[in-house]
Structure 1
Amino acid sequence: MAQASIHASAVVDPSAQLGSGVEVGAFTVIGADVEIGDGTRVGPHCSIHGPTRIGRDNRVHGHAAIGGDPQDKKYGGERVALEIGDGNVIREFVTINRGTGGGGGTTRIGDDNWLLAYTHVAHDCQVGSHCVFSNNSTLAGHVEIGDWVIMGGFAGVHQFCRIGAHAFIGMGALVNGDVPPYLLVASDDYGRPRGINSEGLKRRGFDGDRIAAIKRAYRAVYVADGSLADARQKLAGMASDSADVRDFLDFIERGERPLAR
């Protein structure tokens, strides 16, 4: 079993647990109550503060700041945590904060995500797997991101908003409402839905029938006349023939914030 490789200039707290084959670059600081899984590589000038758990085979590039205190004035030093899964790429100057006592206590990031340079993930966010956050994309506190979400450069999400699976948030879009699964959101004064993410769905193996059903669901909510209650009734009828529409409807029914419209 390969031991961890730690640069002579790095500072690693004696209580930190580093797995087999972990690499720690020059001038990096790893604090107390940090666990890093096998095969993860941490570049130079990074900081990782605990309580933080990082899984296997992640790649953390230079100057990333991971597991810092939440940027919340209500935070009073209580024990809160960050959990990161396996196979993520975390690029230069990314910042990921731990949770807050009043927000569930833990920020979570799944597996196989790409967080590109200057991405910020705030306290208590819950991020799924297989997402791409382009440069300078930003999540405020308590945001939930489903699997396979793509965020364009300089996109931002307001606190407590949810982004459903397979959504695409365009460059510079500012999201201040919930975005159901599969949608495409484009930049405006605030990000507004502009159809569904058809191209992304095709790349992930969705066939024509599935995409057509999702398009019908989108039109029921965003194009047809009538209230959101009317749209929910239409979706309920469609959902019996489409698991994707059921996911769309379930997302809407769980929401506490208004939809992005």
Structure 2
Amino acid sequence: MKIHKTAIINPKAEIDTDVEIGPFCIVDEDVRIGSGTKIMPYVHILSHTTIGKNNVIFQGSTIGGLPQDLKFNNEKTSLIIGDNNIIRENCTINRGTEAANQTVIGNDCLFMAYVHIAHDCIIKDKVILANGVQLGGHSEIHYHATVGGITPVHQFCKVGEHAFVGGGRLVLQDVPPFILANGEPLQYAGINSVGLTRRGFDLETRNLIKRAYKLLYRSDSNISQAIVRMNTEIENTKEIKIILDFVEHSERGLI
């Protein structure tokens, strides 16, 4: 364990033996940090935060801060961060509120500089949030999704897996899986063909996804009718099931 002499570590924090903590960091009580994690200078990790293995947290980030919610009354809530994440400079990640009890970050994510992740958010594995992304409370960013820089996401919104949201946009409703979302107001801009190809989705699968979204966005069917047509006209593959489940459970409505 390499802890700089200027770092302030609460004796009740649990830190694995090969963790590195840089100058002027503060680690509060009831913090757990897994092996191989590196904490750069001027990072503050607040109470009730659990950080997994092999994460890198860059300068000036505040991890596990109190939720920015007027209803919060100092309940014992938490922030849980998985393994192999990169959290760049000056990010802020808040712990949960009584509503959901915790904020959860998965594995293998990249959060670029000045990202804000509010209370009760759920971030799945392999998510990329570019510089300045701002997530409202209870947002969900699903597996392998990407959100472009300087993009605010309204509270309770969901971004589906393998979706790509363009930079500088405003997310006010749910973004379905596998698509590109761009424009102002934000709208469907085709499927995420480049991303899906890079991740091993074959042409047949990509074409099925494209057919599903043609029914949803490029036909005269409303959403309920499009769901029926997807169930009857398109092979019920894993990807189609993911789309149907997302659409049927959307609470904010779709872009």
TM range (shorter): over 0.9
Alignment partner of 1:150 is 2:150: no
How many angstroms does 1:241 deviate by? 3.6
The secondary structure found in structure 2 opposite 1:148 is: coil
Q: Give a deviation string over 1:163-193, Cα, whole Å, max 9, x none.
A: 11000010111111111110111131x3211
| Paired position in structure 2 for 1:92 | 89
CA distance in 2, matches of 1:40, 1:6: 12
Equivalent residue, structure 2, for 1:24: 21
Q: Secondary structure at the match of 1:67?
A: strand
- How far does the alpha carbon of each residue in 1:55-93 deviate from its partner, in whole angstroms, 9 at most, with x for none? 000000000110000000110000010000000000000
Partner SS for 2:181: strand
Compared CA separation, residues 156 and 238, structure 1 to 2 (3 A): farther
8 Å contact 2:164–2:192 — kept in the other structure?
yes
Aligned residue in 1 for 2:192 = 197
What is residue 108 of structure 2 aligned with on the other side?
112
2:212/2:234 contact within 8 Å kept = no
Q: What's the counterpart of residue 219 of structure 1?
A: 214
**What residue is the counterpart of 1:80 in the other structure?**
77
Aligned residue for 1:101, secondary structure, equals coil
Task: Supply the distance in 2 between the matched residues of 1:56 and 1:24 (Cα, whole angstroms).
Answer: 14
Deviation at 1:256, TM superposition (A): 1.6
Secondary structure, counterpart of 1:175 in structure 2: coil
The question of whether the paired residues in 2 share the 8 Å contact of 1:236 and 1:246 is answered with: no
| Contact 1:16–1:35 (CA under 8 A) maintained in structure 2 | yes
Q: SS of 2:59's equivalent?
A: coil
Q: Give the aligned CA root-mean-square deviation in angstroms.
A: 0.9
The corresponding residue for 2:229 is: 234
- Which moves more between the two structures, 107-116 or 223-232? 223-232
Task: Write the mapping of 1:180-191 to structure 2, written as runs, cut at 5 A.
Answer: 180-188=176-184, 190-191=185-186
Secondary structure, counterpart of 2:212 in structure 1: helix
Residue 165 in structure 1 maps to residue 161 in structure 2: yes
Is the Cα–Cα contact under 8 Å of residues 86 and 109 in structure 2 kept in the other structure?
Answer: yes
CA distance in structure 1 between the aligned counterparts of 2:54 and 2:183, rounded to whole angstroms: 35
Distance 1:186 1:5 in 2: 45
Runs of at least 4 residues off by over 3 Å? 238-241
- The question of whether the paired residues in 2 share the 8 Å contact of 1:239 and 1:246 is answered with no
Letter of the structure 2 residue corresponding to residue 54 of structure 1: I
TM-score w.r.t. length of structure 1: 0.96
The answer for the alignment partner of 1:56 in structure 2 is 53
Instruction: Please tell me whether the aligned partners of residues 132 and 149 of structure 2 are also in contact (alpha carbons under 8 angstroms).
Output: yes
Distance of 2:66 and 2:161 partners within structure 1: 28
Query: What is the aligned residue count?
Result: 255
1:36: how far off? 0.2
Q: TM-score normalized by structure 2?
A: 0.98
Moved more, 178-187 or 239-248: 239-248
Assess if the C-alpha contact under 8 Å between 1:238 and 1:245 holds in 2.
Answer: no
Cα distance in 2 for partners of 1:215, 1:91 equals 35
CA drift at 1:239: 5.2
Question: Shift in Å at residue 254 of structure 1?
Answer: 1.4
1:133-170: CA deviation from partner (whole Å, max 9, x where unpaired): 11001110001111101111111211001111000010
How many angstroms does 1:214 deviate by? 0.4
